Amino acid sequence: MENTESRVWFITGCSTGFGRELAKAVLARGERVVATARKVEEVQDFEESGPELARAVRLDVTDPEEVSGAVDAALDAFGRIDVLVNNAGYGSMGGVEEISDEEIRRQFEVNVFGVLNITRAVLPHMRERRQGHIINISSVGGFVGVPGFGIYNGTKFAVEGISEALALETEPLGIHITIVEPGAFRTDWAGRSLAAAPAIDDYRETVGQTREYISNENGNQQGNPRLAAEAMISAVEADEPPLRLPLGDDALGMVREKLDSVKRETDAWETTIVETSFEHGATE
């Protein structure tokens, strides 16, 4: 594929994990990438592929000036952005009561407002061209709540709600939205990148079990980040890209279990649910 025709990918959080693997996979296909990270030296190696293929750009997604500068750098280098991947983010572990106010706000600032900052900066360029694809890296925890990750769940549920609405808004403009929902993958997410709050003993049977699971699972996750990157590329290349893309058999199982649970509950409460309308309510 000629460079003048190959896609341009703008990927946040490329220093490790999904972002790094995706950037590597994109370059291996002869496509172009703007690889971003808060510490630009951690993504500088991508430029070894050549300036016609890769640019390393410093980006803190919570800094509006850096967001604007990074998007301008991408457009100056390659003239367009075909695929935006909102990957930058991290997890906070702890019960809803356990996590500090400061950490709650930081978690939302990075995981939600960071996604909005980049997305809103890139959308005008995609609208002008009437094409583009935005991949928002959520989590199976953006679809299913887990004890010990309530605040993290909240950020990813927010990303999913925003993404669903955005998909409806941009569909007539030729812009696709895909929400990626990974399960447990062998990245730094559950290791050095994870923020853990001090424990409250009363939550040892709920949050405590999650803490133990994460500690034991870290480094042994079955999910392969390289294969996750290939799955994301497949979604971009699809004639009808998915709105949601769970990754990993664990994620698929959790999604299906929740869908079944919601159906059972709404079926059981159907009479109460429908009788709240004026048409079905009791006459005064």
Cα gap 65→166, rounded to integer Å: 24
Angstrom distance (rounded) from CA 223 to CA 100: 31
> pLDDT under 50 in the chain at which residues?
1-4
Residue 270 corresponds to which tokens in the numbers above? 């159907």
Residue 187: what pLDDT?
81
Q: What is the pLDDT of residue 120?
A: 98
Catalytic, out of 138, 139, 163, 203: 138
Choose, from 6, 49, 156, 203, the residue flagged as catalytic. Answer: 156
- How large is the greatest C-alpha to C-alpha distance in the chain, in angstroms? 75
- Which helix (H) or strand (E) segment holds residue 130: the answer is none
**Is 39 a known active-site residue?**
no
Is 15 labeled as catalytic in the residue annotation? no
| 261 has catalytic annotation | no
Dihedral over alpha carbons 96, 102, 103, 104 (to 10 degrees): 50
CATH number of 8-253: 3.40.50.720
pLDDT at 108 (0 to 100) = 98
Structural domain spans, the chain: 8-253
Helices (H), 10-149: 17-28, 64-78, 101-108, 114-129
194 phi-psi bin (left φ>0, alpha ψ -120 to 50, beta other): beta
